Chains A and B, each alone.
Chain A
């Protein structure tokens, strides 16, 4: 079966004053039908440019791309009927009410809210109490739910969501990902981007993007299994001086703060931990703990950035 999304050696450059910005450098990947696929990376990685090419709003300088089996340049009109796109920036009509926005988008696609109600029901019931309110007067969370409803109103085969959870608190983020899972179960292919590394584990597969390139594509588990060295979590009473001491120790290769602990790797794979522990105690550290841990996606992302 053909893929829902296929991207082959895509390049995109922008001219900014005298400098040429390479937004996408040789991007290739495929997304299977019904997959929940994540593009994980910081601002400037190229995620939005990629979305704009796949939703036919921008043309690549080089390379090819297909959505739902259709080529993005020659079949752009047909693709627009089949995909749903929620841009990172709120792009609905602020001076129309919630229900006017919905009926506007439904009319554009020759459908009605009722026709695909099953699909948007879970989201729509949350914004229904405000259906007479202008979109511009909604809170951030509600705007996001309205935008998602509008993107789904024509039952798209592929849904593109550009950073739907950026700036959203941890609880609302969890709820949003639960919604995405439900949509996936209804047979919709979802391509979603996020700068939050912890969300990668909620996707079937992810592409880790940085600086216009894909550094790795795999299942979240596949990515963490590729971490090259044993990883240790170190904690002590004074975390700031612990970081400085670890970073100035030549036996330590990398040391990054990670919440309650610092995650470190050693220059020598077989480094004895006792030696490190002793020198930290000698430096006066108290409440010291060192334990071996499994790497997270964020550990892997940083390792790939350093390569």
Chain B
């Protein structure tokens, strides 16, 4: 296994009864890479992502995430990754400062570290005046940017983003991607799912899952060329239309 790989997966499979949700997927994600993980609804993305985060045990196959074995060291994996989804992120009835203290505490940061991290984050997001505001009172765009920052409070090696920009206005969506670029430039590996096909173009490499398998994996430019398409939207539609398994 190469040292540079942040995620290394081989023949990873998950079965639920006689249904193979994830069917022997193999891929590597390099450190500092922005890796887009695409697929139609029901293709197996969520199941695969849950396994990589150590939340669900594979049926078979191998995986190493952030340098740890998925079977033996899932607790170490959890400490070394960050996770953010559109649905669940921050506690609405806590303030920004309290959310930071809570998540920082969970990840074992010292009081001093939490204090420094919080100050840096508030300054970076221009939210100094809002530190003691309840999260529920913030506009959605702010919440999403904030929860991205909180998901990285413990300086994880890899951050998993599950549809992080759903429902966000187009300007904030782009500001969010600027934050993703910045994180990747600092060396954080970004593993991201999205239904916005323009966002697929922002990734270094993209995989597309169909019926539990990875059907395509390359840079957006190479995929666009390979499928003789105008952009990733067309590539996606071409591949996803081949799906035999409807999402039921």
Q: Which A residues form the contact surface with B (CB < 8 A)?
A: 16-17, 19, 41-45, 130, 138-142, 166-174, 195-197, 210, 239-240, 243, 256-260, 298, 301-302, 305-306
* Least distance between B45 CB and chain A CB atoms (Å): 10
Report which of B40, B172, B198 forms a contact with A171, defined as CB distance below 8 A.
Answer: B40
Contact A141 B220 (CB under 8 A): no
| Chain A residues in 8 Å Cβ range of B39 | 169
* Of listed B42, B139, B181, B198, residue having the most chain A CB within 10 A: B198
Q: What are 21 A-B pairs at a CB distance below 8 A?
A: A16-B137, A17-B137, A42-B169, A42-B172, A141-B42, A141-B248, A166-B166, A166-B167, A169-B40, A170-B197, A170-B233, A170-B237, A171-B236, A171-B237, A197-B170, A210-B169, A239-B202, A240-B185, A256-B171, A260-B220, A260-B224
Residues of B within 8 A of A302 (CB): 170-171
A71 to B207, CA, bound (A): 51
A43 lies within 8 A of B170 (CB):
no
Interchain CB contact under 8 A, A167 and B247: no
Bound CA–CA A195/B167 (angstroms) = 6
CA distance A298 to B166 in the complex (A): 15
**When the two chains form the complex, which single residue of A44, A141, A142, A258 contacts B139, counting CB atoms closer than 8 Å?**
A44
Closest to B167 in A: A43
Are B248 and A139 in touch, CB under 8 angstroms? yes
Q: Determine the distance from Cα of A232 to Cα of B83 in the docked complex, in whole angstroms.
A: 36
Q: Mark B167-205, 1 if CB is under 8 A from A, else 0.
A: 111111010011001000100000000011110111000
Give every chain B residue within 8 A of A298 (Cβ-Cβ).
Answer: 170
Q: A19-B137, A42-B167 are in contact. List 14 more A-B contacts (CB 8 A).
A: A16-B137, A42-B140, A42-B168, A42-B172, A140-B42, A142-B247, A167-B163, A170-B197, A170-B236, A173-B195, A256-B174, A257-B198, A259-B201, A260-B231
- List the A side residues contacting B178 at CB < 8 Å: 243
Pair A172/B248 contact, Cβ less than 8 Å: no
Nearest A-chain residue to B224, judged by Cβ: A260
- Closest CB of chain A to B17's CB: distance in Å? 14
Interface residues on B, range: 35 or more
Interface of chain A, helix or strand or loop or mixed? mixed
A residues in contact with B195, CB < 8 Å: 167-170, 173
Measured between beta carbons, the chain A residues less than 8 angstroms from B233 are 170
Q: In chain B between 192 and 248, which residues have their CB closer than 8 angstroms to a CB of chain A?
A: 195-198, 200-202, 220-221, 224, 231-233, 236-237, 240-241, 243, 246-248
Q: A168-B195, A169-B41 are in contact. Are A141 and B247 (CB under 8 A)?
A: yes
Contact: B198 with A259, CB < 8 Å?
yes
B169 touching A305 by the CB < 8 A rule?
yes
Residue in A44, A141, A142 whose beta carbon sits within 8 Å of that of B140 in the complex: A44
Chain B residues near A45 (CB-CB < 8 A): 169
Check if A141 sits within 8 Å of B169, measured CB to CB.
Answer: no
The answer to whether A171 touches B240, judged by C-beta atoms less than 8 angstroms apart, is yes
Q: Chain B's nearest CB lies how many Å from the CB of A16?
A: 7
Contact present for A43 and B201 (CB under 8 Å): no
Which listed residue (A43, A141, A197, A210) contacts B246, Cβ 8 A? A141
Across the interface, which residues of B come within 8 angstroms of A259, CB to CB?
197-198, 200-202, 231-232
